[in-house]
Homo-oligomer: A and B are copies of this chain.
Amino acid sequence: MKSEEIRLEDLHAGKFIEQKVDEISAAIGTGLAMNALSGGVDSSTVTMLGYRALGERLKTYFVESGLMRHDEPKKVVSLFEGLGVPVEIIDAQEQFFEALKGLTDPEEKREAITQTFYSVVFGQLVRGSGAKYLLQGTNYTDVEETVAGIKRQHNILEQLGIDTEERYGYTVIEPLIQLRKPAIREVARALGLPEEIYRRPPFPGPALAARVIGEVTPQRVEVVRRATRIVEEELCDTGAFQYLAILHGDRVTGIREGRRDYGFQIEVRCWDSKDAITGSPTRLSYDVLDKLADRITTGVPGVVSVTYNITHKPPSTIEPI
Contacts and interface: CB of A to CB of B under 8 A. Distances in A.
Interface string A220-260: 00000000000000000000000000001110111110111
Interface stretch (A39-47, A170-178, A290-298): A290-298
Nearest to A148: B258
Contact of A305 (B151, B289, B309): B309
A205 interface: no
Interface stretch (A78-86, A181-189, A311-319): A311-319
A201 interface: no
Interface in A267-321: 267-268, 281, 283, 286, 289-290, 292-294, 297, 304-317, 319-321
B283 A310 contact: no
A176 B305 CA distance: 31
A262 B294 CA distance: 30
Contact of A254 (B149, B283, B317): B317
Contacts of A316: 252, 254-255, 297, 304-305
A214 interface: yes
A252 B317 CA distance: 9
Contact of A148 (B150, B151, B259): B259
Contacts of A294: 312
A213 interface: yes
For the complex formed by this chain, how many copies does it contain in all? 2
Contacts of A259: 148-150
Nearest to A267: B307
Nearest to A313: B255
B305 A293 contact: no
Nearest to A303: B315
Given A261-B315, A310-B308, A311-B297, A320 B290 contact: no
11 contacts: A148-B260, A149-B259, A151-B260, A213-B250, A252-B321, A255-B313, A281-B286, A281-B289, A293-B310, A305-B320, A306-B310
Given A252-B321, A254-B314, 7 more contacts: A151-B253, A213-B250, A213-B252, A252-B317, A286-B310, A306-B309, A308-B308
